[in-house]
Amino acid sequence: MLRIVGIKRSETPDLEFVLLQNQGSIRVKLKGHAIVEESKSEEAGPAMYLFAETECIPPGNFVLLKSGIGESKWGLSKDGSRVYFTYAGGNQTLWSCLEGSLHLLGTQHTFVERKDRATILSS
């Protein structure tokens, strides 16, 4: 179960981040999770980031989402914890201007249509 365990808002995309941790007992696929900020302004829509990586996060490991540009990779934190570093890929910050709560949304269900039986047999 992924949970938000830290956030740093900044005016600089390379310094702004959200830190997640898999606090469950099984691996969690990152793809399909989304971070959404609850906007307190009616004029501004919520800031949102949708994870597209198919990376599996083992129990106890972290995910560090930075607003800036970079290449996703596994690494170690200063205390030796395993961290998956990933980037939103923008030149702008995602959450620095907004003051709302952050929500982590997870995949509840995935539906894939089956191929027609005749199509399967003819393949």
Question: Which of 33-42, 70-79, 113-122 is the most confident on average?
Answer: 70-79
Can you spell out the DSSP letters for 16-81?
-EEEEEE-SSS-EE-TT-EEEE--S-SSSPPPEEE-----EE-TT-EEEEESS----EEEE-TTS-
Residue 94 tokens read as 């995602």
pLDDT at 24 over 90: yes
Model confidence at 37: pLDDT above 90 = no
- The mean pLDDT of the chain is 86
* pLDDT band at 13; cut points 50, 70, 90: confident
Pairing of strands 34-37, 17-22: unpaired
Percent of the chain with pLDDT over 70: 86
Confidence (pLDDT) at 45: 58
Query: What is the widest separation between alpha-carbon atoms in the chain?
Result: 57
Give the CATH number of the domain where residue 33 resides.
Answer: 2.60.40
- pLDDT over 80 (residue 119): no
Contact, 101 vs 9, CB < 8 A? Answer: no
More confident residue, 18 or 121: 18
Domain that holds residue 108: 2-122
Average pLDDT, stretch 19-25?
97
| Lowest mean pLDDT segment, chosen from 2-6, 84-88, 98-102, 113-117 | 113-117
What span, in angstroms and rounded, lies between the C-alpha atoms of 51 and 29? 10
Query: What pTM value is reported for the model?
Result: 0.82
pLDDT of 120 reads: 55
Number of domains in the chain: 1
